[in-house]
Amino acid sequence: MNTESLVSRRAALCGIAVALAVPSGLVTACSSTSTGSGTTPTQGGSTPTGSSGSAGTSGTALVALADVPEGGGAVVDAPGGKKIVVARISATEVKAFDATCPHQGSMVAEPSGGTITCPSHGSQFGASDGAVKKGPATTGLRAVAVKVDGDQVVLT
């Protein structure tokens, strides 16, 4: 049998997965450019205004504003089992990002001094924009749209 005409095991399994129309996470896992998390992080942590992505339902309260220290932040649970890092930029301004580091999927720590750090490999991100400040991560944190509503930080 000619080995050059054989289909690789990975290619065959991916073909079957596509044919059966399985969830995109499995198909993404077959790609050689997969990030390992099943999602594609965006540069600089940008998300269209008003979009909360898959983080949850608009209007869902994430955390009391009083529980997010000014100049710091908190890692909180979001609907669907996701973790979100909320950074308090000023008395009335907050920013939020998916708490999954785009480098290898570790959970980032709470913001401190305007920086969000991944404890696994030392990547650092700006708390105000999620952009990479220091690698090994090459892309920023994915932004999650939030706002202050009364005394709560809520998804928008």
pLDDT in tens, the chain (156 residues): 444 445 455 555 445 444 444 343 333 333 333 333 333 333 333 333 333 344 456 788 899 999 999 999 999 999 888 999 999 999 889 999 999 999 998 999 999 999 999 999 999 999 999 999 999 999 999 999 999 999 999 998
Query: Homologous superfamily of 44-155 in CATH?
Result: Rieske [2Fe-2S] iron-sulphur domain (2.102.10.10)
Where residue 109 falls (left for φ over 0; alpha for ψ -120 to 50; beta otherwise) is beta
CB atoms within 10 A of CB 11: 11
Structure-block tokens of residue 30 = 């077959």
CB atoms within 10 A of CB 99: 24
Non-local CB neighbours of 59 within 8 Å, separated by 6+ positions: 149, 154, 155, 156
Q: Where are the alpha helices (DSSP H) in the chain?
A: 9-19, 24-30
- Domain(s) labelled CATH 2.102.10.10 in the chain stretch across 44-155
